[in-house]
DNA sequence: GGAGCCCTTTGATCCACGTCAATACGATTT
DNA sequence: AAATCGTATTGACGTGGATCAAAGGGCTCC
């Protein structure tokens, strides 16, 4: 027997239970019944066009966002105009956690391509995670993962040389594409050299030169934003074989 | 009428309700009854001698720690020996959040001086925060604050010059000492030039030279680890007046 | 309270990355 | 298919901070 569901509902409602990203996202570790409860609180989806803001620094914090399609960057801007990209986010990753601390967002989230997010009203998430232990724990893990990730970036910015930073970046991207079922060795970067540079604490020329160098050495094949990793162990060696 | 409490209990039990750090720490925003519940789960205190580890990278994660006295640094170490200080923590701040994500700590926490922490078993904290909404929210704020702080460090490492980094560091220390009721302008640094350098992505010689430069310019008076800030606006100007 | 050692300062030199500049490429629009 | 504009590459040169080196200075631990 089939249950009859109006088409409109299917279109309007977000359904974590149907989402192929649930293993990466908030529903991870929840049983089907709990996922249904989560489904109910995920109010709506929101489409964000390329280059548009999902939220801005200073905006009142109301919800966190799970990326359903597309990708984003987050950045912080100083009064004098300097900016720093603090991260690139892919599908299944959560945006907006910075806003909890002061009830206002402290960075900008900008779509790198036409994207779609699930809006998760934060008050309701806290409410449900008081009832659903596995949801509470998964949410805590996601926040903690963000902290660990940031420590990795600090290591990168604080103690690595340009080529090491780029190698670490490429290996990280590769790993995240893999986790999403894409090729580990061939992918399309959504961000510019300037944005990569900002993230890695380098100028865009330095990023470009490092790419060229990797290409010369047969580590990767670079064609603009299209990357093919030819020698993963070689990239990894670059990271650890640092002459002390 | 006075209630009679055995002296031993007073000594053994931690008491958030009695702690003058409660406005900075987990109890913030809780009503007295809720603080009592928190008191019950704070199992024990632990004394850590200078230079000793509170936990090490790889250790199984069991608890988070609130600093009751003293101060700590956290660092990450790469296989090739390079290390990066990811933060300095003072009284009332919480350590160990990195461990939630994988059930294992991902950094080292080392006491900068003889210190004492309150051990907060994490499972029980999650349990209680399912019952006490204000505790849940305060915990989320603390995690979020850590993320925002890390973004600030990324900005510092990614887009500031040496003297700007040190100025930002000093202003940050000043502000945190102030929040703890100490002088905003005169304090004692617990960490070495090398540790400051690691945190700021600089070599210790560069840190030392920047201190000397600040002294020449009358911004601060430096005597080893004893710092007197003479011109706070001057330091702030250094941060924002960056020639683009 | 003295010995030893770690920490800090300062100078001289080097080099990785930044800066400036010119050109080339590619996606989008018309 | 040409025009336009943002993006990327590459070269030449400059510089901020790293590195190497050598004194001092002040804790810490007997």
Q: Which CATH number fits domain A7-156: 2.60.120.10, 1.10.10.10, 2.40.30.10, 3.40.50.720?
A: 2.60.120.10
Q: Which CATH number fits domain B10-156: 3.90.1150.10, 2.60.120.10, 3.40.50.970, 3.20.20.140?
A: 2.60.120.10
Q: What are phi and psi of A84, to 5 degrees?
A: -135, 125
User: Chain B within 8 Å of A216 (Cβ-Cβ)?
Assistant: no
**CATH 1.10.10.10, domain B160-240, yes or no:** yes
pLDDT (tens place) for every residue of chain A, 244 residues total: 444 444 433 445 568 888 889 888 999 999 999 999 999 888 789 999 999 999 999 999 999 999 999 999 999 999 888 999 999 999 999 999 999 999 999 999 999 999 999 999 999 999 999 999 999 999 999 999 999 999 999 999 999 999 999 999 999 999 999 999 999 999 999 999 999 999 999 999 999 999 999 999 999 999 989 999 999 999 999 987 764 4
Note the pLDDT tens digit of each residue in B144-182: 999 999 999 999 999 999 999 999 999 999 999 999 999
Distance from CA of A215 to the nearest CA of B (A): 25
3-class DSSP assignment, residue B188? strand
- CB within 8 Å: B102 and A148: yes
CB of B69 lies under 7 Å from some atom of strand D:
no
Q: Which one of A80, A158, A240 has the shortest CB-CB distance to B198? A: A158
> Which bases of chain D are contacted by protein, using any atom under 7 A from a CB?
7-12, 16-21, 26-27
d(CA A19, CA B210): 53
Bases along strand C below 7 A from a protein CB:
7-12, 16-21, 26-27
- CATH 1.10.10.10 range(s) for chain A read 160-240
Strand ranges across the sheet with A108-111: A53-55, A108-111, A72-77, A83-89
- The pLDDT of residue B123 is 96
3-state secondary structure chain A: CCCCCCHHHHHHCCCHHHCCCCCCCCCCCCCHHHHHHHHHHCCEEEEECCCCEEECCCCECCEEEEEEECCEEEEEECCCCCEEEEEEECCCCEECHHHCCCCECCCEEEECCCEEEEEEEHHHHHHHHHHCHHHHHHHHHHHHHHHHHHHHHHHHHHHCCHHHHHHHHHHHHHHHHHHCCCCCCEEECCCCHHHHHHHHCCCHHHHHHHHHHHHHCCCEEEECCEEEECCHHHHHHHHHCCCC
Distances (CA, A) of B142 to B2, B26, B90: 36, 8, 14
Spatial separation of the C-alpha atoms in residues B100 and A147, rounded to whole Å: 10
Instruction: Return the pLDDT at B23.
Output: 84
Local mean pLDDT, 10-residue blocks, chain B (244 residues): 43 73 90 91 89 96 96 93 94 97 97 94 96 96 97 97 97 96 94 97 97 96 94 92 57
Q: How far apart are CA B93 and CA B3, in angstroms?
A: 32
Query: Using N-to-C axis directions, what is the helix angle for A133-159 and B133-159, rounded to 10°?
Result: 20
Full DSSP string of B35-75: HHHHHHH--EEEEE-TT-EEE-TTPBP-EEEEEEES-EEEE
Predicted local confidence at residue B20, as pLDDT:
86
Residues of A in Cβ contact (< 8 Å) with B157:
154, 157-158, 201
Q: Is B140 on the interface with A (CB under 8 A)?
A: yes
pLDDT of residue B165: 97
Distance (Å, whole) CA B37 – CA A164: 49
Q: Can you name the residues that pair with A110 across neighbouring β-strands?
A: A53, A73
Ranges for all domains in chain B classified under CATH 2.60.120.10: 10-156
pLDDT of residue A80: 84
CATH 2.60.120.10 positions along chain A are 7-156
What is the predicted pLDDT for the residue at B5? 44
């Amino acid at each position: 027997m089939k249950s009859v569901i109006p088409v409109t509902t299917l279109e309007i409602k977000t359904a974590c239970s149907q989402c192929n990203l649930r293993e990466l996202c908030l529903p991870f570790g929840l049983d089907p019944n709990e996922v249904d409860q989560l489904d109910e609180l995920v109010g709506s989806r929101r489409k964000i066009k390329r280059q548009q803001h999902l939220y801005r620094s200073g905006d009142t914090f109301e919800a966190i966002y799970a990326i359903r399609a597309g990708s984003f960057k987050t950045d912080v801007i100083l009064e004098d105009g300097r900016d720093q990209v603090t991260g690139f986010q892919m599908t299944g990753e959560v945006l907006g956690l910075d806003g909890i601390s002061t009830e206002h967002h402290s960075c900008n989230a900008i779509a790198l391509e036409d994207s779609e997010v699930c809006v998760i009203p934060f008050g309701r998430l806290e409410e449900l995670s008081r009832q659903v232990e596995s949801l509470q724990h998964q949410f805590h893990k996601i926040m903690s993962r963000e902290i660990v990730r940031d420590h990795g970036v600090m290591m990168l910015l604080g103690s690595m040389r340009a080529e090491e930073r780029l190698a670490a970046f490429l290996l990280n991207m590769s790993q995240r594409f893999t986790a999403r079922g894409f090729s580990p060795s061939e992918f399309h970067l959504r961000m510019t050299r300037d944005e990569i540079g900002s993230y890695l604490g380098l100028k865009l020329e330095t990023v470009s030169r490092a790419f060229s160098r990797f290409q010369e050495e047969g580590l990767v094949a670079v064609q603009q934003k299209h990357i093919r990793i030819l020698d993963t162990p070689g990239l990894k060696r670059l990271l650890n074989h640092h002459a002390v």
